[in-house]
């Protein structure tokens, strides 16, 4: 820190005198913080962090493409979209690193409103009060069945056919679960607290459900970008017959968020990458 030991000692003693408390305990060669000293140091660190944030805000005001962009993504989008865009974001905007947060829609919307994150990639619909949104793409749904399922010979599936099958769904809180239930309302019978297999999957991931389908425990509906329609040793993915159910993916941010160019940059990168089974908007 380029401060000599005597100068530092004098400065500490002066601070202790001004505050009227002992910050450090001095015993031989050891120097430790007193309990009140620990509180003072923690508060001082918060002040320094806040001062650094002021500088970051000023830097971002001069250049919206400089400084971290805090991006939230729902669980059923993050693993499949983020790997496609991260490299391009780093190459195009090296001074604007992404700080990523995966969570449920309700939580990400709350985090945008409180300023914990700047922007989020979500699936419609959700409460847009206080937010601006920009449509990104529409993503088709596909059906996943085990390799030994009778449907493996089919090229397409009608939504109405799903009611004949045991459906494996994500747990409560996942918006994709609600969208699947719109496609197959009969699957809601597995959502009752006393029901069988559905209770096992509350709070699980799409990848967990894929493996359970592979074991023959049922079928599921997945977002198109989460699968490859090429040959899979364990699963068969079947497209829906028209009208194909889908979901709309949007970019959302606080109305008060001032870095419009940062939002535009993220939007442009998403539109520049390949999005299998999706219609860019």
Taking a C-beta distance cutoff of 8 angstroms, is the pair 154, 241 a contact?
no
Residue ranges of domains in the chain, CATH in brackets: 5-62 (1.10.10.10), 69-137+247-280 (3.40.190.10), 140-240 (3.40.190.10)
Predicted pLDDT of residue 55? 63
Counts of helices then strands in the chain (DSSP H, E): 8, 11
Predicted pLDDT of residue 200? 40
Predicted pLDDT of residue 201? 52
Predicted pLDDT of residue 122? 97
Q: Phi and psi (nearest 5°) for 85?
A: -110, -20
Predicted pLDDT of residue 21? 87
Q: How far apart are the C-alpha atoms of 205 and 48, rounded to whole Å?
A: 40
Give average pLDDT by consecutive 10-residue segment, the chain, 281 residues.
69 85 79 86 80 62 79 95 95 94 95 93 94 96 93 90 84 82 64 44 76 90 87 88 93 92 96 94 93
Taking a C-beta distance cutoff of 8 angstroms, is the pair 272, 88 a contact?
yes
């Amino acid at each position: 820190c380029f401060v000599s030991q005597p100068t530092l000692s004098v400065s500490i003693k002066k601070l202790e005198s001004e505050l009227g408390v002992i910050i450090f305990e001095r015993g031989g060669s050891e120097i430790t913080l007193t309990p009140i000293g620990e509180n003072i140091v923690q508060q001082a660190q918060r002040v320094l962090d806040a001062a650094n944030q002021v500088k970051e805000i000023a830097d971002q005001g001069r250049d919206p493409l400089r400084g971290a962009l805090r991006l939230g993504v729902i669980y059923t989008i993050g693993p499949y979209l983020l790997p496609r865009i991260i490299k391009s974001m780093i190459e195009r905007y090296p001074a604007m690193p992404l700080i990523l947060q995966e969570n449920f829609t309700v939580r990400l919307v709350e985090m945008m409103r409180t300023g914990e994150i700047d922007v989020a990639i979500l699936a419609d619909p959700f409460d847009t009060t206080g937010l601006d949104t920009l449509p990104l793409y529409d993503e088709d749904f596909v059906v996943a069945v085990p390799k030994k399922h009778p449907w493996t010979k089919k090229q397409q599936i009608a939504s109405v056919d799903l009611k004949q099958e045991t459906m494996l769904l994500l747990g409560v809180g996942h918006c994709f679960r609600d969208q699947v239930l719109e496609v197959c309302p009969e699957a809601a019978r597995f959502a009752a607290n006393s029901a069988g297999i559905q209770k096992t999957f509350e709070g699980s991931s799409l990848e967990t459900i894929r493996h359970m389908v592979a074991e023959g425990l049922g079928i599921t509906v997945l977002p198109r970008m989460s699968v490859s329609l090429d040959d899979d040793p364990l699963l068969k993915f079947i497209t829906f017959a028209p009208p194909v159910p889908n979901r709309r993916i949007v970019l959302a941010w606080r109305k008060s968020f001032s870095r419009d160019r940062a939002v535009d940059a993220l939007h442009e990168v998403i539109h520049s990458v390949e999005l299998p089974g999706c219609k860019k908007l």
